[in-house]
Amino acid sequence: MCGIVGYIGREQAAPILLEGLSRLEYRGYDSAGVAVFDAGTNTLAVHKAKGRIQVLSDQLHGGADLNSTVGVGHTRWATHGAPSDVNSHPQVSRSGRIAVVHNGIIENYAELKSFLRTKGVPFRSETDTEVVAQLIEHFYEGDLLAAVGKALHRVRGAYALGILCADCPEQLIAVRKDSPLILGRGEGCNFIASDVTAILRHTRRVSYMEDGELAVLTRDGIRCYNHLMQPVEKAAVTIDWEIGAAEKDGYEHFMFKEIMEQPQALRRCLSPRIREGEVVFEDVSLSGDYIKNLRRVCVVACGSSYHVGMAGKYHLERLTRIPVEVALSSEFRYMDPIVDQNTLIIVISQSGETLDTLAALREARRLGGHILSIVNVVGSSIARESDQVLYTWAGPEIAVATTKAYTTQLALLSLLALWLGRRLGTVPDQDYRQMIAAFQELPDRMEEVLSRRDDIQYFASNYFNHGSIFFIGRGLDYALGLEGSLKLKEISYIHSEAYASGELKHGTISLIEDGTLVVALSTCGRLFAKAMSNVAEVKSRGANVLALTVESHREEMARTADAVMAIPELHELLLPCLGVVPLQLFAYYVALMRGCDIDKPRNLAKSVTVE
Ligand code: M6R
């Protein structure tokens, strides 16, 4: 959601900015822009365009039109003001001498705008960001840093900012509060970026900005300050993954590539944590006493990560016998949650930057909860603010629709449940051994599922024209349905709902009519008979049923359902990890057949950094 990239060095800035922005496309955006310092005229050259980065790049001939070695670029995901050239960033001050790119929301922008209007400042855009540029200029009396400090003192909200001033072409200013921003350290050049993918081609050495910090970048160094403007030393870390991991590698879409990468991602996530038949969490230190005194677990997350929590509740409760609540982060933070030192808060987030989840984490911490997070992006805000972090090690996930992050999160949460259960003595030895074996088998079984992708493509070709699709299931299959339904709607734009099968009769079944597509999920052996009854119920009302079950039930299911997708047998608790794959593929192929923009679905962002 909004992407920032900034460069100061000795090379031409504009091509670097445009290339960096294209690497941030996956975050979701509707317009793009750059501002560079033009040494010829001693002014800032600002270029913006609604639509894809390619539009802007074409206008600037790939950046060749701009001669400058310092600049900032931005992809905007509209919040205040519709997508348009004028509302795009960079936003500039009245004189055009200060340019600002911003990720986040300035909450008191209306109040600040009124204040500035009383001082005669005219506004061009509807954005909250323009207020920041104008406010800095309002306070500017020759000392840019002082003006930025004064302006920030007045601003409330969440922001990552890149600031350029025509009077100070030898520096670039970066500020972070509640929105991600990193500093990239090169040789004779330095960078700012919303995430590492934007600058990885130029440097692997990055520093993570903390909330309230401000950085002044020059060609030869970076000075950082805390919120009191006291200098702070920032450590640099080296990013160890290759840029290729964030490229399509010959695949048509990132989503498909990431679906196919899942067995490998699971191996990376699980293998180091299972040694000689035991779960080993070197990255978690919860004492035996703490675990024994645990009274409650609360899982907090958004979107697909929340669905992981919905499935994980079954694992955690079954293996630990501790009550588990699963909360949407956006609700949790305002619901006066019950949390104390005997509550373990499990925060799940692929990006580690989802603002609602970060806020929920902070609220839980304030109330005394112990925070254990399951995160993919190393060094992200949620990871850094947690007491313990379990990284999923799925590698960079670029497609907006999450796939490999979901499966690794779910596998890791299940493994955590098993580890806790073992330490609590609530998992019988034999069950423990069976589950360990199942975890070790999981990547291979997933490969089998992926090898049958043509079957799913065939089903998608039969059903891609449906206007509304229901997913039904019980227990873990209900949790799986939530994810299958979200996957489908977010990339194919087909209306879709997931229901606990038993709930159908309480209202929703009235929507089932001739030809309605129902995806019936029935991987859980214990509940197979119940699932069959629900399939019969919707069939007798005219539904077309596409079922998902395990191999051993394929035949029986095929007697009632119109079509059956089957997955290999595995321990019941791990079946959602396998079962989600046909649903991801189904969503993918349906979206492909409908001509949708699969990696960048409309209105969505990869990392939701505003409330
Ligand atoms: O980065 P997070 O896991 O915190 O993101 C949470 C949701 O925004 C995310 O899972 C979203 O629902 C995905 N687009 C679903 O595919």
Q: Which residues are tagged catalytic?
A: 2, 606
> What is the distance of C-alpha 469 from the center of its chain?
25
Contact 362, 296 (CB under 8 A): no
Instruction: Look at residue 120 and tell me if it is in a domain.
Output: yes
**Paired sense of beta strands 517-522 and 468-473, if any:** parallel
pLDDT for residue 80: 85
Q: What is the pLDDT of residue 283?
A: 82
Mean of pLDDT values over 587-591: 97
Residue 418 burial (C-beta neighbours within 10 Å; 0-12, 13-18, 19+):
buried
CA–centroid distance for 400 within its chain: 7
Best probe residue, ligand 1, of 255, 402, 486, 492 (max atoms within 8 Å of C-beta): 402
The model's pLDDT over 180-211, given as tens digits with 9 standing for 90+, comes to 899 999 999 999 999 899 999 999 999 999 99
Within-domain flag for 575 = yes
For ligand 1, atom 8: residue with the closest CA: 303
Q: Tally the residues of the chain.
A: 611
pLDDT of amino acid 243: 72
Give the CATH number for residue 414.
3.40.50.10490
pLDDT in tens, 131-141: 999 999 999 99
542 inside domain: yes
- Asked if residue 441 and residue 333 are part of one domain, the reply reads yes
Question: How far is the C-alpha of 249 from the C-alpha of 198, rounded, in Å?
Answer: 17
Q: Which of 201, 207, 162 lies closest to 71 in space, CA to CA?
A: 162
Residues 323 and 413 grouped into a single domain:
yes
* Nearest ligand 1 atom, CA 351: 1
Does residue 21 belong to any structural domain of this protein? yes
225 with 330, same domain: the answer is: no
* For residue 603, pLDDT beyond 90: no
Which one-letter DSSP state was computed for residue 172?
A: E
CA of 501 to the centre of ligand 1 (A): 25
| Mean pLDDT, range 14-35, rounded to an integer | 92
Residue 119 is predicted with a pLDDT of 95
Shared domain check, 68 and 45: yes
> Which residue shows structure tokens 């001739």?
514
Tokens representing 335 are: 């619901």
Mean pLDDT of 386-391: 96
Which residues line ligand 1 at a C-beta cut-off of 6 Å? Answer: 302-305, 349-351, 354, 357, 400-402, 486, 490, 607-608
For residue 123, is it within any domain?
A: yes
pLDDT in the model for residue 326: 97
377 Cα nearest atom in ligand 1: 1
Average pLDDT over residues 78-87: 88
Quote the ligand 1 centre to 515 CA distance (angstroms): 31
Helix (H, G, I), strand (E, B) or coil at 51: coil
Q: Among 428, 449, 470, where does a domain finish?
A: 449
Quick one: the chain helix, strand, coil %, rounded to 5? 40, 25, 35
Tokens of 399: 């497609």
Looking at the structure, tell me whether residues 289 and 273 fall in a common domain. yes
Distance 302 CA to ligand 1 centre (A): 6
Same domain, 394 and 277: yes
Percentage of the residues of the chain whose pLDDT score is greater than 90: 84
Calculate how far, in angstroms, residue 279's C-alpha sits from the geometric centre of ligand 1: 27
Residue 510 pLDDT grade (very low, low, confident, very high; cuts 50, 70, 90) = confident
- Interval between CA 388 and ligand 1 midpoint (Å): 21
DSSP 359-390: HHHHHHHHTT-EEEEEESSTT-HHHHHSSEEE
Q: For residue 600, is pLDDT > 90?
A: no
Residue in 328, 354, 378, 381 to alter for ligand 1 test, most ligand atoms within 8 A of Cβ: 354
The closest-lying atom of ligand 1 relative to the alpha carbon of residue 403 is 16
Q: Is residue 103 within 8 Å of 609, Cβ to Cβ?
A: yes
Q: Residue 57: what residue type?
A: S
CATH classification at residue 207: 3.60.20.10
CA distances from 546 to 460, 537, 566 (A): 10, 14, 11
Burial label, 188 (beta-carbon count in 10 A; 0-12, 13-18, 19+): exposed
| pLDDT tens sequence across 238-297 | 988 777 777 787 899 999 999 999 999 999 999 999 999 999 998 888 999 999 999 999
Please check whether residue 603 lies inside any domain of the structure: no
How crowded is residue 156: how many other Cβ atoms within 10 Å of its Cβ?
A: 14
Report the alpha-carbon distance of residue 210 to residue 216 in Å, rounded: 14
Confidence grade of residue 2 (pLDDT, cut at 50, 70, 90)? confident
Contacts (Cβ under 8 Å, ≥6 apart) of 594: 464, 492, 493, 494
Tell me how crowded residue 141 is: count the other CB atoms within 10 A of its CB. 8
pLDDT of residue 504: 87
Whether residues 208 and 284 share a domain: the answer is no
Residues 156 and 29 occupy one common structural domain: yes
Q: What is the pLDDT of residue 128?
A: 92
* 376 shares its domain with 442: yes
Residue-wise over 221-242: b if at least 16 C-beta within 10 A, else e? Answer: ebebbebeeeeeebeeeebeee
The residue whose CA has the least distance to atom 7 of ligand 1 is: 303
Residue 250: the pLDDT is 85
Contact call for residues 361 and 345 (beta carbons, < 8 A): yes
Burial state string for 509-519 with b = 16 or more CB within 10 A and e = fewer than 16: beebeeebbbb
State the total domains in the chain. Answer: 3
Indicate whether 293 belongs to any domain.
Answer: yes
Domain coverage including residue 557 = 453-593
Among the candidates 394, 424, 449, a domain finishes at 449
Q: Is pLDDT at 321 greater than 90 in this prediction?
A: yes
pLDDT band at 462 (very low <50, low <70, confident <90, very high): very high
Are residues 193 and 339 located together in one domain of the fold? no
Mean pLDDT of 543-567: 95
Nearest CA to ligand 1 atom 11: 303
pLDDT at 388: 95
Residue 604 lies in a domain: no
**140 shares its domain with 28:** yes
Residue 315 is predicted with a pLDDT of: 96
Average pLDDT, the chain: 94
Same domain, 433 and 470: no
Which of 400, 417, 449 finishes a domain? 449
Residue nearest to atom 9 of ligand 1 (CA): 303
Q: Which residues pair with 47 in a beta bridge?
A: 34
Closest atom of ligand 1 to 329 CA is 4
**If phi over 0 gives left and psi between -120 and 50 gives alpha, with beta otherwise, what is residue 37?**
beta
